[in-house]
Amino acid sequence: MTQYLTHQTIHVDRADLESSFPSSELDLRRQLVRFGRWVHRLGYTPGTAGNLSVRLDDHLILATPTGCSKGLLHAVDMVLIDNDGNKLSGTRNVTSEIGMHLAVYRMRPDVQAIVHTHPPIATAFAACGKALDQPICSEILMTTGLVPLAPYATTGTEEVSASLEPFIPDHDAILLANHGLLTYGSSLPDAFMKTETVEHFAQVCLSAHQLGGASPLRDIDIAKLQQARARYKLNASRGPSCR
């Protein structure tokens, strides 16, 4: 007899599967769901755009599946891979951009999570061949630092990681020419907040340009902000984590 999957059985199957994950893994799967919804609701990942990943431990990575709306994912949809990109579990295939994520994890042992999006204003800068590298706002200098533009590379190919590699060691946010934005950090909330901050900075740069051009910060003020950034990071790392 044909068995039909009802809404309820899908729900029960999901709950069963979720309860089979260790709690630390389930927590990270749920974080991927939560920040997938955030970037989607903010309009940073229209359609099936964007992908997110997080380190589970030194050898394992959880990543979003390819070809899915980041606003509609469930914890069980995430794909478990090793550091070489081999799929270890998951009902779907891993993001087509996994090579770019692996390049960041390989070159930056401090990075725990990565967010790739297509936020409209930052992506417009990337489409016009413009880096977000004008020192006109203290906030960006206090968080990600200025944002370079990596040369154009075909999505989902090794060209992408090759184009990013020169920038990965010294930057936490990179524009991908004619494509979008990549941010990473110490946790998913941290990587997500960098995405938000870069898109806000792009909006400010655009508005300042429309208003006749911003006044850049002086070198001495930039140097002071760099010191303030180190203090800010240190203070934020004390006490209970909010990133």
Query: Strand 149-150 relative to strand 173-176: parallel, antiparallel, unpaired?
Result: parallel
Is 18 a residue of the active site? no
HEC sequence for 135-194: CCCHHHHHCCCCECEECCCCCCCHHHHHHHCCCHHHCCEEEECCCEEEEEECCHHHHHHH
Residue of 97, 165, 196, 199 with catalytic role: 97
Verify binding: residue 48, ligand 13P, rule CB under 6 A: yes
Q: Does 95 bind ligand 13P (CB under 6 A)?
A: yes
Please choose, out of 32-40, 90-98, 126-134, 197-205, the segment that lies near ligand 13P by the rule CB under 6 A. 90-98
Residues between 171 and 230 with contacts to ligand 13P, criterion CB under 6 A: none
Helix residue ranges, H only, the chain? 7-19, 23-41, 98-107, 120-127, 138-142, 158-164, 188-210, 219-237
The least distance separating ligand 13P from the CB of residue 130, rounded to whole angstroms, comes to 19
> Binding residue for ligand 13P (CB under 6 A) from 69, 96, 138, 157?
96
Q: At its nearest, how many Å lie between ligand 13P and the CB of residue 44?
A: 10
Nearest approach, Cβ of residue 222 and ligand 13P (Å): 32
Among 83, 155, 207, 226, binds ligand 13P (CB under 6 A): 155
Backbone angles phi, psi at 16, to 5 degrees: -60, -50
> Does residue number 161 form part of the binding site for ligand 13P (CB under 6 A)?
no
- Rounded Cα gap, residues 16 and 206, in angstroms: 48
Residues that are catalytic: 97
